[in-house]
């Protein structure tokens, strides 16, 4: 049995949770959010959309299948959603240092230490989650005894997309159809899924003027933080809409396409982060179980007249996607690329590429 150093999670409302440190011993701060998925910590931690956030996993036993080695195929990581951990900290109830999995080479604690990310175990994550559900997502800080006091860091104040997007154009695949991927912090499974469909993918920085590329379709990725920081991307999407070539957006991509379509974005009380979010296709009784990770939502009342809601969340009625009534522009708030989570809506990639 390991002995871990005591560490505290301090919430903005003054609540203090005492736990033990199993990751890097480094004070940090960010927005505290919770995800109710049972598995998928390697994927969630490396999902760039968690930049600036301290992630609480409500499933109690975490770490028991370890962490894979870093490997790549054609320039794309095989098992992670980006090349580093983006979450600023990890909060667990019961960390398993012992692990067993065919693909594991290290423990979750060792990986967090390598990447300089703190991890806390022994927290009453049920209580923490109840507090976040009642009061809404809150800022928090992780501090060790003897640490100098640090300020609460609010990720809202920064353009996190600029921090996590690629800095230059990167190409993948060799197909005839050319798809631009606007990288707002793209999960790599979007790249894998599109390359699998046989397209030539051109991944561009979030603020790149991609309209000068002669493309066949545009994919707008997921990404961290408040979408209102991405005015330049919205302007480029509006420009792209004039060409009438297919545009598809995922999560942040749904928010940016919706902004280009006239809608506003608002912050949800505590967001949707899980692998079992039910979404209904508007105008049908069809429900899909989806993987989600977002804190903001589209206010569809402001959508332009030529647009319509496409999916709706069956838990709280919030918007889960929009589409243009006549042109091939559409987007979803959930994650068809999954990783982690259900792959039920993976067919969207096939349909998007067929449409091009």
Ligand X SMILES: NC(=O)CC[C@H](N)C(=O)O
Number of residues that bind ligand X (CB under 6 A): 11
Asked if the bond preceding 196 is cis, omega within 30° of 0, the reply is no
Q: Is 233:184 a contact under the CB 8 Å cutoff?
A: yes
Binding residue for ligand X (CB under 6 A) from 46, 293, 313, 318?
293
Residue with tokens 């979408």: 227
Q: State which residue, 160 or 199, has the beta carbon closest to ligand X.
A: 160
- Considering only residues 246 through 275, tell me which ones interact with ligand X, judged by CB under 6 A: 251-252
Stretch that binds ligand X, among 13-21, 135-143, 287-295, 342-350 (CB under 6 A): 287-295
Q: Using CA atoms, how far apart are residues 41 and 90, in angstroms rounded to an integer?
A: 10
In the annotation, is 337 catalytic? yes
Taking residue 315's Cβ as centre, other Cβ atoms within 10 Å add up to 12
Q: State which residue, 24 or 322, has the beta carbon closest to ligand X.
A: 322
Do the annotations mark residue 313 as ligand-binding? no
Kindly report the CA angle at 342 between 336 and 345, in degrees rounded to 5?
A: 35
In the annotation, is 166 catalytic? no
Q: Which two tokens stand for residue 221?
A: 């990725």
Q: State which residue, 9 or 182, has the beta carbon closest to ligand X.
A: 182
In the annotation, is 335 catalytic? yes
Do the annotations mark residue 280 as ligand-binding? no
Q: Using CA atoms, how far apart are residues 104 and 209, in angstroms rounded to an integer?
A: 41
Q: State which residue, 125 or 319, has the beta carbon closest to ligand X.
A: 319
Do the annotations mark residue 255 as ligand-binding? yes
Q: Which two tokens stand for residue 293?
A: 């990770």
Rounded to 5 degrees, φ, ψ at 133 are -70, -35
Q: State which residue, 197 or 293, has the beta carbon closest to ligand X.
A: 293
Kindly report the CA angle at 41 between 37 and 44, in degrees rounded to 5?
A: 85
Stretch that binds ligand X, among 24-32, 133-141, 168-176, 293-301 (CB under 6 A): 293-301
- Considering only residues 78 through 137, tell me which ones interact with ligand X, judged by CB under 6 A: none
Binding residue for ligand X (CB under 6 A) from 35, 49, 121, 165?
49
Do the annotations mark residue 266 as ligand-binding? no
Binding residue for ligand X (CB under 6 A) from 296, 329, 348, 352?
296
Taking residue 196's Cβ as centre, other Cβ atoms within 10 Å add up to 14
Q: Which two tokens stand for residue 229?
A: 């920081």
Do the annotations mark residue 75 as ligand-binding? no
Does 237 bind ligand X (CB under 6 A)? Our answer is: no
Task: Determine how β-strand 119-121 pairs with β-strand 104-106.
Answer: unpaired
Residue 293 CB, nearest approach to ligand X (Å): 4
Q: Using CA atoms, how far apart are residues 283 and 295, in angstroms rounded to an integer?
A: 26
Q: State which residue, 39 or 268, has the beta carbon closest to ligand X.
A: 268
- Considering only residues 205 through 224, tell me which ones interact with ligand X, judged by CB under 6 A: 222-224
Residue 229 CB, nearest approach to ligand X (Å): 10
Contacts 24+ apart (CB under 8 A), 148-152: 148/27, 150/27, 150/28, 150/29, 151/29, 152/12, 152/29
Binding residue for ligand X (CB under 6 A) from 205, 295, 321, 341?
295
Kindly report the CA angle at 50 between 48 and 56, in degrees rounded to 5?
A: 145
Among 31, 229, 251, 300, which one carries the catalytic annotation? 251
Looking at the chain, how many residues does it have? Answer: 356
Residue 218 CB, nearest approach to ligand X (Å): 16
Q: Using CA atoms, how far apart are residues 128 and 33, in angstroms rounded to an integer?
A: 10
Q: Using CA atoms, how far apart are residues 86 and 78, in angstroms rounded to an integer?
A: 17
Chain contacts with ligand X (rule: CB under 6 A) = 49, 222-225, 251-252, 293-296
Residues annotated within the binding site for L-glutamine are 49, 223, 225, 252, 255, 293, 295-296
Report, as residue numbers or ranges, the catalytic residues. 251, 335, 337
């Amino acid at each position: 049995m390991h002995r871990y150093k005591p560490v505290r999670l301090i919430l903005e409302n003054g609540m203090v949770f005492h736990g033990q440190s199993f990751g890097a011993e480094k004070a940090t701060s960010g927005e505290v959010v919770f995800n109710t998925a049972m598995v998928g910590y390697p994927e969630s931690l490396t999902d760039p959309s968690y930049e600036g956030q301290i992630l609480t996993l409500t499933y109690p036993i975490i770490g028991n299948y370890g962490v894979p080695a870093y490997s790549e195929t054609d320039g794309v990581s095989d098992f992670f959603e980006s090349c580093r951990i983006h979450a600023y900290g990890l909060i667990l109830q019961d960390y398993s240092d012992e692990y067993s999995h065919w693909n594991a080479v290290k423990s979750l604690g060792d990986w967090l230490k390598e990447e300089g990310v703190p991890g806390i175990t022994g927290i009453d994550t049920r209580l923490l989650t109840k507090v976040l559900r009642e009061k809404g997502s809150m800022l928090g800080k992780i501090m060790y005894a003897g640490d100098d006091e640090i300020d609460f860091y609010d990720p809202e104040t920064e353009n996190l997309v600029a921090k996590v997007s690629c800095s230059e154009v990167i190409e993948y695949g060799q197909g005839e159809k050319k798809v631009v991927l606007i990288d707002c912090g793209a999960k790599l499974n979007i790249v894998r899924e599109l390359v699998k469909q046989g397209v030539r993918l051109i991944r561009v920085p979030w603020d790149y003027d991609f309209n000068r590329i002669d493309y066949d379709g545009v994919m707008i990725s997921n990404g961290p933080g408040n979408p209102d920081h991405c005015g330049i991307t919205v302007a480029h999407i509006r420009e792209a809409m004039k060409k009438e070539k297919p545009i598809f957006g995922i999560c942040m991509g749904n928010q940016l396409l919706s902004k280009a379509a006239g809608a506003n974005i608002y912050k949800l009380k505590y967001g949707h982060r899980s692998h079992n979010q039910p979404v209904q296709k508007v105008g049908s009784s069809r429900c899909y179980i989806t993987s989600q990770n977002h804190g903001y939502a589209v206010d569809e009342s402001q959508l332009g007249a030529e647009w319509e809601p496409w999916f709706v969340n069956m838990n709280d009625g919030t918007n889960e996607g929009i589409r243009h009534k006549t042109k091939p522009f559409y987007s979803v708030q959930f994650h068809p690329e999954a990783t982690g989570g259900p792959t039920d809506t993976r067919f969207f990639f096939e349909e998007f590429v067929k449409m091009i």
